[in-house]
Structure 1
Amino acid sequence: MEDLLAARLQMAVSLGWHIVFACIGMTMPVLMAYSEWKWLRTGKQVYIDLAKAWSKGVAIFFAVGAVSGTVLSFELGLLFPEFMRYAGPIIGMPFSWEGTAFFVEAIALGVFLYGWDRLNKWVHWLSGVVVGISGVLSGIFVVAANAWMNSPAGFKWNNGVVTDIDPVAAMFNDAWFTQALHMTLAAFVATSFAVAGVHAILLLRNRQNVFHRKAVQIALSFGAVTAFLQPISGDLSAKDVAERQPAKLAALEALYKTSKPADLVIGGIPNDEEERVNYAIHLPGLLSFLAHGDFDAEVTGLDKFPEEERPPVLITHLAFQVMVGCGFLLAFAGLLHILFSVWWKHLLLKRWWLKFVACLTPLGFIAVEAGWTVTEVGRQPWIIYGVMKTKDAVSPMPGLQYSFYTILVVYLLLTIILVWLMRRQIATIETYYPSARNINE
């Protein structure tokens, strides 16, 4: 295995594994704090039970996520030292702010976990709010650094020499807002539907269980709202990518030829040799509208770029199709939840509906993984778009494949431990939480 491929695969596995915990860390504390707020307002036992149960899950995922996040910070320097040599002084600000948010989150989580019955109720709830806010900010700061890789700003590049560094301009680059918005919404969609799915599975055993009923209701409420907002943020992102990274847009839409107007391609398998997409559905002019707000606008194709600067079309296109497909299915599920909650509440406990929600459990995270594949693979061959290629940033140290194999083993063991801990936590719900044994509200 080539060192470049080994380094990229290691980063892909590490990031793909960690991003799940980043999403959970941004969302679960909000659900946890919201449930405690409902208890403070209503006094119902089920809400405080949910807050306590979810807080234990937050603690578990926080601990495991901290491990994988630490690994990622070292990997950037070890696997791509040339990248960090130039990028470190430029994007150090978002990383430092992310570290600050992480420490605040850790302190607030400690207060929340050990403050039950020791603090004023509203003070305790406020600590949970701090956990939620700092978790969201932590994710946004990391995304700002990634956005800089897609839209470099805040420096001048003169023959390999970096000058005139402006960390603020680098952090708030042209891509940070759209990427941060899209990622934050994605985190809430993925985690909310996953939480709802797990509780829906448990609710199928006893559809009158108030603990799981309220859990599904709260999680789907957050999931439905963010799933509706996600296509809007996706449209903003598409227009932004069309302007800044036309090669990425061409790859994710498998647009080999510059077209005016350009069709939107749904599905299909790109054929690089024949430069066409087989078995696809074409919607005339729609890509022109999505990219530039005009059905007759010209959209730049891959033919405008040298072959060595074209992203891998097959992976980028298929990942984009998976992301969009999952997103629309989750938005449809969110719409059904709202309709049922307003007009047909009796349908929320039907077995077919609970089974449908249960099937959606992994879908949000599949969309997140596909979305990050689009972001990272679609930027290739650049590690800093238009400035530095990935092959020029990789470590000269030989034997990087052994580091990759080690990471695979470590993450496999962490996954086994995590599954065991969560299964144990779920199995003890009825033991520790009264509302989980009671069908009355």
Structure 2
Amino acid sequence: MDDFIAARSQMALSLGFHIIFSCVGMVMPFFMAIAHYKYLKTGDKIYKGLTKAWSKGIAILFATGAVSGTMLSFELGQLWPKFMEHAGSIFGMPFSLEGTAFFVEAIALGFFLYGWGKLNPWFHWFTGLLVGISGLASGILVLAANAWMNSPAGFDFVNGEYLNVNPVKAMFNDAWFSQALHMIIAAFIATGFAVAGVHAFMILKGKNLVFHTKAFKIAAISASIAALIQPLSGDISAKDVSKRQPEKLAAMEAHFHTERNADFILGGIVNENEHKVDYAIKIPGLLSFLSHGDFNAPVKGILDFPEQDRPPVAIVHYAFQIMIMLGVALMIISILYLLAILKKKSWLSKKWLIKLFVMATPLGYIALEAGWVVTEVGRQPWIIYKIMRTSEAVTPMPGIAYTFYLFTLIFMSLSLIVIFLLYRQIKMVPYLYDETDPKFIHKPTNK
């Protein structure tokens, strides 16, 4: 494997793995805080058990996320030394602040895990909420750094030198808000549907019905609301990308030729040789409207950009289509579930609705990973958009392919360990609240 491709593949693998734990760290503490709040208000021990169960799961995923995040920090310097040499002082501020947020998150999680019966109940609840707030802040700060790569700001680039550095302007660049908003909502969708799906599966198995039903409701309502508002952030992102990175937009829609009343393409097979998309569903004028708010506005085609500056069309288009189609599927499930809560109460006990959530368990994260591919691959061939090419930033050190294979093995091992630990945690649910409580359904056995 070519060292340049190996370096990109290793970074992609590391980011793809870490992003899951980042999303869990941003979202799950809020679910935990909701359950804990309900326990404090009602005294229902099932909510206490649920809070403990989720907190232990958060601890497992937090530890794994800390490992993968540390690896990423080293990879930035080792794989992309030229990038860090020039960019480190410019966008270093959000990374340093992210480190502070991470420490706050770790300390708050420690207080929460070991504070049962030792702290004031409401202060204890606040420490759990603080885990979520600091996790959310951490995610936003990292996204600000990534957005800077898509929309570099806060410096003057003169004769190959980076002058007049302003870290604040770099952090609050033109892309940070739309990118952070879209990603945060996506994190709630992905994590919410994953958590709801796991509890829906346990409901279908008939174990700890009250426990899993309460857990399912918290996650499902949160995920459904997020899924229904995501198109609004998607519209903001589309209009932002159309202004700042028109070649990325063209790749997303496999839009080869500049035209007015441009079609929005669904599906299809990209034919890059003949500059067309076969077997696609085309909605006339919608791409122009989504990009510029005008059905007749011109949308620049990918062929109008220099060949050396074009992102790979097929990869970006297929990733974008996966994100869109899975997003629509999750929206449909969300509408059905919220309709069941508001109008069709009888649906809540129907197996078909619970099975939909079970099937949707991985879909949010697949859509999220696809969206990340659109963001990162759509920026290529630039590591700093229009400033530095990715090929210029890569390390000259040989043998990167071997580290890629090693990291692949490490991440596969970590994945298996996390799955095993979370499975054990789910099996431990019966032990997490008082067996004498009349709502305790499934007593553990010695088998």
Match of residue 130 from structure 1: 130
Matched, 1:139 2:142: no
Contact 2:27 2:187 in 1 (8 A): yes
- Secondary structure of the structure 2 residue equivalent to 1:124: helix
**Aligned pairs (5 A) from 1:130-209:** 130-206=130-206, 209=209
| Residues 30-72 of structure 1 deviation map (CA, whole Å, 9 limit, x = unaligned) | 1001110111122222211111110000000000000000000
- Letter of the aligned partner of 1:38 in structure 2? K
Match of residue 18 from structure 2: 18
Contact 1:37 1:125 in 2 (8 A): yes
Match of residue 225 from structure 2: 225
| Residues 351-407 of structure 1 deviation map (CA, whole Å, 9 limit, x = unaligned) | 111111100000000011000000000000000000000000000011110110110
Q: Is the deviation greater in 297-306 or in 313-322?
A: 297-306
Match of residue 270 from structure 2: 270
Change (3 A) 1:208 1:12: closer
CA distance in 2 between counterparts of 1:157 and 1:304 reads 25
- Structure 1 residue 331, shift from structure 2 partner: 1.4
| Residues 62-102 of structure 1 deviation map (CA, whole Å, 9 limit, x = unaligned) | 00000000000110110000000111000001001110000
Seq. identity, %: 57
- Secondary structure of the structure 2 residue equivalent to 1:204: helix
- Structure 1 residue 208, shift from structure 2 partner: 7.4
Q: Is the deviation greater in 205-214 or in 270-279?
A: 205-214
- Structure 1 residue 412, shift from structure 2 partner: 1.1
- Secondary structure of the structure 2 residue equivalent to 1:396: coil
CA distance in 1 between counterparts of 2:440 and 2:287 reads 53
| Residues 183-230 of structure 1 deviation map (CA, whole Å, 9 limit, x = unaligned) | 000001000000000000001121771100011100011101111111
CA distance in 1 between counterparts of 2:271 and 2:62 reads 43
CA distance in 1 between counterparts of 2:251 and 2:206 reads 48
Match of residue 63 from structure 1: 63
| Residues 291-328 of structure 1 deviation map (CA, whole Å, 9 limit, x = unaligned) | 00000000011122111110000000000000011111
CA distance in 1 between counterparts of 2:144 and 2:91 reads 9
CA distance in 1 between counterparts of 2:328 and 2:366 reads 13
Contact 1:207 1:213 in 2 (8 A): no
Match of residue 440 from structure 2: 437
Contact 2:248 2:379 in 1 (8 A): yes
- Structure 1 residue 129, shift from structure 2 partner: 1.0
Match of residue 91 from structure 2: 91
Contact 1:189 1:226 in 2 (8 A): yes
CA distance in 1 between counterparts of 2:40 and 2:181 reads 30
- Structure 1 residue 437, shift from structure 2 partner: 3.4
Match of residue 392 from structure 1: 392
- Secondary structure of the structure 1 residue equivalent to 2:162: strand
| Residues 124-150 of structure 1 deviation map (CA, whole Å, 9 limit, x = unaligned) | 001011101001010000000000000
CA distance in 2 between counterparts of 1:432 and 1:20 reads 26
CA distance in 2 between counterparts of 1:333 and 1:254 reads 28
**Unaligned stretches of 5+ in structure 2?**
443-447
- Letter of the aligned partner of 1:50 in structure 2? L
- Letter of the aligned partner of 2:278 in structure 1? N
CA distance in 2 between counterparts of 1:433 and 1:394 reads 53
| Residues 134-188 of structure 1 deviation map (CA, whole Å, 9 limit, x = unaligned) | 0101000000000000000000111221100000000000000000000000001
Contact 2:320 2:374 in 1 (8 A): yes
Match of residue 347 from structure 2: 347
CA distance in 1 between counterparts of 2:123 and 2:159 reads 55
Contact 1:194 1:360 in 2 (8 A): yes
CA distance in 2 between counterparts of 1:433 and 1:265 reads 52
Match of residue 214 from structure 1: 214
CA distance in 2 between counterparts of 1:422 and 1:345 reads 32
CA distance in 1 between counterparts of 2:161 and 2:169 reads 18
Matched, 1:3 2:3: yes
Contact 2:208 2:440 in 1 (8 A): no
CA distance in 1 between counterparts of 2:283 and 2:211 reads 46
Match of residue 426 from structure 2: 426
Change (3 A) 1:208 1:398: closer
Matched, 1:322 2:325: no
- Secondary structure of the structure 1 residue equivalent to 2:266: strand
Matched, 1:375 2:375: yes
Match of residue 336 from structure 1: 336
Contact 1:7 1:79 in 2 (8 A): yes
CA distance in 2 between counterparts of 1:195 and 1:433 reads 20
CA distance in 2 between counterparts of 1:141 and 1:22 reads 12
CA distance in 2 between counterparts of 1:186 and 1:415 reads 21
CA distance in 1 between counterparts of 2:322 and 2:43 reads 43
- Letter of the aligned partner of 1:275 in structure 2? H
Match of residue 445 from structure 2: none
CA distance in 2 between counterparts of 1:85 and 1:269 reads 40
Match of residue 52 from structure 2: 52
- Structure 1 residue 337, shift from structure 2 partner: 1.1
CA distance in 2 between counterparts of 1:398 and 1:269 reads 37
- Letter of the aligned partner of 1:299 in structure 2? V
